[in-house]
Amino acid sequence: MLYYPQSECLVRFPSPESLKHRIIISTKPPKEYLESSVKGKRTRFSNGKNSSEEEEEEEEAASGNPENTAGMESDDRSDSDLDYEEDKNSGHTPPPQYRELITIHAGKPKGGLKETLQPTTNNVRRLSLSEQELERAATNNGLDLVRFTQENILRVYPKGTRITSSNYKPIIGWMHGAQMIAFNMQGYGKSLWLMHGMFRANGGCGYLKKPDFLMHKGPDVFDPKRALSVIKTLKVKVYLGDGWRLDFSHTHFDAYSPPDFYTKLYIVGVPADAAKKKTKIICDNWVPAWNEEFTFPLTVPELALLRIEIREYDMSEKDDFGGQTCLPVPELRPGIRSVPLHDRKGERFNNTRLLMKFEFV
């Protein structure tokens, strides 16, 4: 069932209860998209410059004044936008009722970024920022960014130069309240592991409720860069690991001897909580027993992720990958746990796992 407002646009974002079993449409209204498309074509054919010169000017503008970067949203075109452009070129225009079905209007921001992020009472908006624009906004207008996401939708997408399908750090968007973090899901790596870890919460259903402090309004709005006091301390003990001999060939790590495993532990979250620990190396053993405990003080545990990575030490070359997982700290249950490990793509190994203990102080 489709949800759409009876007025020109949505004034206040609907509650989760009112959106049960419903969908909403968010895209550019047809008229605005047509005007921006025509304007772009006129600029391209009237300035007498070739495409490479235009691209250089756009890159210079993107790296210059951060207040002017919000208007450079050239990649923010949804499938419906492209469909409308094709219909317009073929002489077919969508019916006027189509505009009324758009619940949240999206479009290029007008004016500077700080002005765009200011709250309005007119309508709910959807703003799209590239990863570079998000980083500049987080650095220069972090509090405005948090306030904006309390009433509006923020979408972040990878920069166009990531031709290898690599990804950016999603935690920057999450700790500023961004609701939509567009990712290259085929781009395996540490950033995608964080994405998998975040959405293991809430039963892995794909929906996470934003922490209450990101919705708190007033002068003391949440600031990810502000130093806060420690709320709780996470103690992690790594006992041992097993299963590699069943999931890997006996010559996968070393041709003539058993592997030399060690464990790396990371806390990913707000800057004050970032931490990195490492166990000792257990040489020549398929069932390494570390029996080491680590302590992680946390100021914002609601946004913290525990990333675990197993490496096999290699004296002459790069250390071999032996498995990884990422766990949302709020979902950790105290006690001794068997933690399954995953491969680079995020697929769970059949047998490889760690025996660990979690404790909150």
The pLDDT value given to residue 74: 41
Does residue 93 carry a pLDDT above 70? no
Residues 147 and 273 in one domain: no
The pLDDT value given to residue 97: 72
Residue at which a domain ends, from 166, 188, 223: 223
Q: Of 65, 219, 81, 214, which is closest to residue 140 (Cα–Cα)?
A: 65
The pLDDT value given to residue 71: 38
* Band of residue 99 on the pLDDT scale cut at 50, 70, 90: confident
Q: Could you list the residue range(s) of the whole structural domain that residue 188 is in?
A: 16-28+97-223
Structural contact between residues 241 and 263, judged by C-beta atoms closer than 8 angstroms = yes
Does residue 355 carry a pLDDT above 70? yes
Residues 120 and 217 in one domain: yes
Structural contact between residues 342 and 325, judged by C-beta atoms closer than 8 angstroms = yes
Task: Compute the distance between CA of residue 166 and CA of residue 34 in angstroms, rounded to an integer.
Answer: 32
In a domain, 336, yes or no: yes
The pLDDT value given to residue 347: 95
Does residue 117 carry a pLDDT above 60? yes
Find the CATH number of the domain harbouring 344.
Answer: 2.60.40.150
* Band of residue 68 on the pLDDT scale cut at 50, 70, 90: very low
Residues 348 and 275 in one domain: yes
* Band of residue 270 on the pLDDT scale cut at 50, 70, 90: very high
Residues 263 and 280 in one domain: yes
Tokens found for residue 294: 């680590």
- Tally the domains of the chain: 2
Residues 160 and 23 in one domain: yes
Residues 211 and 269 in one domain: no
Residue at which a domain ends, from 223, 250, 265: 223
What is the residue-averaged pLDDT of the chain? 82
Does residue 332 carry a pLDDT above 70? yes
Tokens found for residue 283: 């040489």
Residue at which a domain ends, from 188, 223, 258: 223
In a domain, 120, yes or no: yes
* Band of residue 191 on the pLDDT scale cut at 50, 70, 90: very high
83-92, 125-134, 195-204: the lowest-pLDDT one: 83-92
- Give helix then strand counts, H and E, for the chain: 10, 13
Higher per-residue pLDDT: 110 or 186? 186
